[in-house]
Structure 1
């Protein structure tokens, strides 16, 4: 969607295509972050990073939610809310855990196009999972080089067009009226590569009042203009009408009936409609001196209409029906050079980025599910201008140094057109930040690499978080960006059939953005700055190939995240409390068996420890462990391929809380996960050989 998380000189290079990037000789760590040549250079990157290959992206599953793939990444919490009106909940090392909808604090990118707006809010539903080839996830200090709200980076790459024209369909049905089908075509036609897919998802939902329909369409065209230049065009569209929102449950309601919707959800017919269309173009050229020049331009529109669970007719309520009409766009120019300084080989990357979002925001009274009188009318805009410089120094055969800096300026402006209330709530805010990062790696043995890194980061509030003041009307421009200092040490081991990644990290955050005072008249929360907080922890990923065609994988995260200094707007002191929404322990484990012949099956286990739901740590979700099973079989019949599959989630039929609405209004914190549920499907593919 909209912002430019690109840290790399060639964020655009990525857009030019995974195939091109993989063949590139460039080893700049920032490009490795973006996924180019991940199998090689990522091991030398002085930062915690994870590569999720095509075989691990939604294996024998619905293929509609990013949480299906990211649950195996240490340090990242990706939870399915069972609520398509609010999307998947994603956080990295605690950044983004406060998000009540969308994604905060973690930057999202696909094929170089940002899916995060300039204000820092991302939309994971826009990822093209059907066309995705792999995902790279970055945590730690180097992620700060992506600018605003980059507590973690999720960068996805769609697969290049196959050489042989291919058409395939994949359909699945499951519990609670779930149905999804996609049709995909890809092929190389001369110098033009074409990849396209369309899909539809329908579900009645696990809970009452949670029906959803989602239509997606994606097109990618790759054109090899000549031996030195390429052009890539990307088109993406999402249509999600009248998605019902059951809202979070209180503890009493959860105990009474975990599948129910909140009474207000039925009374006010809470729902959301989203329409999103965007396009991006990337041009890349290799100059005569082998420098690389890249240019990226993108833009789009997004419309949202949301019915909330109250009338919104009080003087400062701003309406219970929200309509957002957004236009966004941006671009980047990047330059890459491989040179020497003081006889030391250096790779230099530099670039300029610009992104924009302009949004008309209106609020209307919610007359029990019908739009009433106008209560709010304003135009909000964000401009983000950034410049970056990154260098990689090959000090010796074993030592390498990565140093980078990014300067960001993010400007917010609001023009109030609803003056009948006697108040002009127009205003502006200008945030500027320079974020340096430094990392060093040492290849102790051919199989073992050690590294250390440090960096600074920052996160502005999003427009949704600025939208309401604790008292009165207008935007809450008293809300300030949070700033962080991040340090990390770790190692990466690649020895035969064994892969180990381990990282120890420590982060200090000033002015942590938290949910603040709840407005009694609207049941709506505002946001505030906490004083100081710390995050310290351990991430471990272990993969081991075993005899008898078995493969074992384990991802473990220990995260101790606390408020050091925090007194809220009511004068309550929460210093020493744990950050809500963040488990201290999280585990994902998998044992897969794939004998020759096309059959494969696996057991998956996911476990989270206790999570607090509120800043005061008085409400919580208990820890849980859930077990899943999947299996599939691929059979070739000439030019045809057939792939039936099935999965059962929550095999032991446990009752547990899937996700939390941190500091949710009305003490409605809990979003329960389904009991035992099933999915069966089939894939059918034809190739014109």
Structure 2
């Protein structure tokens, strides 16, 4: 909706993205999310598993990819209909800003909307600009990027290409990633425009260093366990995607927007599952081979007018998303040779699709009061067709259908032009992903179609204070009560099974502050206190006891602060502090990863050279060389929970704007 963020009765944050501005190379989205309250983005130093992202505790259980949080790039979904998403194709070289929505109104985006993250590419300007960037740093890391943007007649364009490669902080963590992003917007006249977005990702090789046990981490955080090299654990990814958005104004009050997209993704991953664990006729092997396509469409109508003489904005629409995937599994050995594709052990066609209808209303019904309300109805269908059938492995084909209606409402009071006070409440839901449906807790073959979606009731009370344009202070109290929470039922042989347990609660307080201080100083702060707990184990947790324990992967306290000085030309620099408390590593809370406080500093210099600008930067992260567990692999069956973050490391950057 076309509402200023300050006037939303919801927790909403936005931050500009400027690769190289603080010495960061522009590789991982976590670089742009620093200081976002409620958001925990952890770079795992493992490009075979992507980074971890959770919002107010939702999504923390993901061992790979992103779950429980909806992702979008230029309005195109990066989350599949089952709720699992990827960040690897997000292009920071082309980006202008990142937006994060938290709290009850996230549910209006459908399945697995514990929060919403949107990355938007920059528009071209009248004077075309081409930027060449090179960053080199610790662990043989090199990032090379080029971006060109401008306006050519009716076309507004932004094109970006990049290559990133690293030797990795840890042993067996070498990776390479090539990415491209293009956004073309055409003015079609008669108040119509068409935007095309295309992106591609090629990750030909990413070694997987796996996690470490506590003893291994304490002995040498840079090591990889022996099985990582024995099996040469690794991942290869290829993805292409194209999206189109058509917008047309219908008179002075109405607007039509239609979006459609399609893509294909292929993943080949070698795991460290030992041959002994693959003896069962129901085993899927130790090599994952996923290929398939996905796509969808969204159509919405927006009306801006008045109701009873007061300003009104109304949105109604429908969306459809589908993913078709061929899933094969192979043994990861041939004879005595390990880490190679062997005999076929799994072959199935998986399809998941959703059909949603939604409506949203914003009405400023009196001068000081405004109402934002909405509802979404979602239908998510899973279907699998088994192509690997034998006497010992029966036909596991099946299907399941989930439906949910998620209403949301928020009320805002405006004491004066500088204050906003609001309260909101809503329902949300999260289906299991195909990865969580993949294995049954009872050990039998087939998918776990007995799993139920988790349902949440979310409440929020917040205040926003903006005494001047350059300063804003936001504060929010929140609670989300969930029933049928998904938790691990068991984990062995490299496979995890899931089941529904009773209730869970995520509640806390978050605050953010941005301000431009005197003499060119700028401050950004975001802090969160979060209590995320299993409330009971009414349905049991299999061999685990989840009752009254902390949800793993979620610290009680986390946050970040950045203080910087200077502008693009001349000298500039900054200091950052980010930290998090201890986190449980499994549902039983049998062990905890320690908390940390990390310091980063950066300095740079920009100079005008005719029509060109040259920017030099130097960044040092973990300045005091603290030993840090950057993230945890929740419920790892081998006890290898810990993923160490780098010690002191540096990055030198050069950017030339032409």
What's the TM-score once normalised by structure 2's chain length?
0.96
Deviations 1:573-601 (CA, angstroms, capped at 9, x unpaired): 32211111111111211111116953210
Q: Secondary structure at the match of 1:548?
A: helix
Deviations 1:394-426 (CA, angstroms, capped at 9, x unpaired): 111211000100000000000000012440000
Deviations 1:447-505 (CA, angstroms, capped at 9, x unpaired): 11101100000011111111112202221112211110000001111113532000000
Change (3 A) 1:413 1:57: farther
Deviation at 1:568, TM superposition (A): 4.3
Are 1:206 and 2:177 counterparts?
no
Deviations 1:210-246 (CA, angstroms, capped at 9, x unpaired): 1100000111111100031001111100000121001
Deviation at 1:546, TM superposition (A): 2.2
Contact 1:381 1:413 in 2 (8 A): yes
**Equivalent residue, structure 1, for 2:368:** 398
**Equivalent residue, structure 2, for 1:512:** 485
Distance 2:530 2:146 in 1: 41
Are 1:140 and 2:106 counterparts?
no
**Equivalent residue, structure 2, for 1:410:** 380
Contact 1:57 1:134 in 2 (8 A): no
Deviation at 1:544, TM superposition (A): 2.9
**Equivalent residue, structure 2, for 1:69:** 32
Change (3 A) 1:242 1:55: closer
Distance 2:594 2:252 in 1: 60
Distance 2:606 2:252 in 1: 47
Distance 1:246 1:127 in 2: 23
Q: Secondary structure at the match of 2:589?
A: coil
Distance 1:645 1:472 in 2: 57
Deviation at 1:206, TM superposition (A): 0.5
Deviation at 1:185, TM superposition (A): 1.3
**Equivalent residue, structure 2, for 1:340:** 306
Q: Secondary structure at the match of 1:126?
A: coil
Are 1:484 and 2:460 counterparts?
no
**Equivalent residue, structure 2, for 1:43:** 6
Are 1:442 and 2:449 counterparts?
no
**Equivalent residue, structure 1, for 2:499:** 528
Are 1:356 and 2:322 counterparts?
yes
Map residues 603-618 of structure 1 onto 2, 5 A cutoff. 603-618=575-590
Q: Secondary structure at the match of 2:112?
A: coil
Map residues 152-167 of structure 1 onto 2, 5 A cutoff. 152-167=115-130
Contact 2:565 2:574 in 1 (8 A): yes
**Equivalent residue, structure 1, for 2:66:** 103
Contact 1:58 1:68 in 2 (8 A): no
Q: Secondary structure at the match of 1:239?
A: strand
Q: Secondary structure at the match of 2:107?
A: helix
Match of 1:423 among 386, 389, 394: 394
Are 1:599 and 2:562 counterparts?
no
Match of 2:529 among 547, 551, 558: 558
Deviations 1:346-400 (CA, angstroms, capped at 9, x unpaired): 2110001001000000000001111000000000001100000100111112110
Are 1:375 and 2:345 counterparts?
yes
What's the TM-score once normalised by structure 1's chain length?
0.92
Change (3 A) 1:186 1:545: closer
Contact 2:489 2:543 in 1 (8 A): no
Q: Secondary structure at the match of 1:634?
A: strand
User: Structure 2: any 5+ residue segments left out of the alignment?
Assistant: none
Change (3 A) 1:595 1:150: closer
Q: Secondary structure at the match of 1:574?
A: coil
Contact 1:57 1:68 in 2 (8 A): no
User: Structure 1: any 5+ residue segments left out of the alignment?
Assistant: 1-27, 33-40
Distance 2:141 2:99 in 1: 29
Deviation at 1:288, TM superposition (A): 2.9
Distance 1:599 1:313 in 2: 63
**Equivalent residue, structure 2, for 1:266:** 229
**Equivalent residue, structure 2, for 1:573:** 545
Aligned length: 647
Deviation at 1:524, TM superposition (A): 1.8
Deviation at 1:54, TM superposition (A): 3.3
Contact 2:19 2:25 in 1 (8 A): no
Deviations 1:37-75 (CA, angstroms, capped at 9, x unpaired): xxxx10010011111123599732010001111131010
Q: Secondary structure at the match of 1:67?
A: helix
Match of 1:389 among 359, 364, 379: 359
> 301-310 or 254-263: which moved more?
254-263
Distance 1:197 1:289 in 2: 35
Deviations 1:533-552 (CA, angstroms, capped at 9, x unpaired): 11110000012332232222
Contact 1:499 1:542 in 2 (8 A): yes
Distance 1:102 1:442 in 2: 39
**Equivalent residue, structure 1, for 2:606:** 634
Match of 2:281 among 315, 323, 326: 315
Change (3 A) 1:661 1:227: same
Q: Secondary structure at the match of 2:88?
A: helix
Distance 1:571 1:158 in 2: 47
Q: Secondary structure at the match of 1:171?
A: strand
Contact 2:295 2:323 in 1 (8 A): yes
Contact 2:298 2:319 in 1 (8 A): yes
Distance 2:21 2:203 in 1: 21
Contact 2:568 2:606 in 1 (8 A): no
> 640-649 or 492-501: which moved more?
492-501
Match of 1:538 among 504, 509, 512: 509
Distance 2:147 2:407 in 1: 42
Are 1:215 and 2:160 counterparts?
no
Deviations 1:596-642 (CA, angstroms, capped at 9, x unpaired): 95321011001111111111112111111110001122211111110
Distance 1:445 1:155 in 2: 30
Distance 1:554 1:341 in 2: 39
Distance 1:339 1:555 in 2: 36
Distance 1:601 1:84 in 2: 29
Distance 1:132 1:526 in 2: 38
Distance 1:580 1:402 in 2: 34
Distance 1:624 1:547 in 2: 31
Q: Secondary structure at the match of 2:32?
A: helix
Q: Secondary structure at the match of 1:101?
A: coil
Are 1:586 and 2:549 counterparts?
no
Distance 1:632 1:664 in 2: 41
- How large is the Cα RMSD of the aligned pairs? 1.4
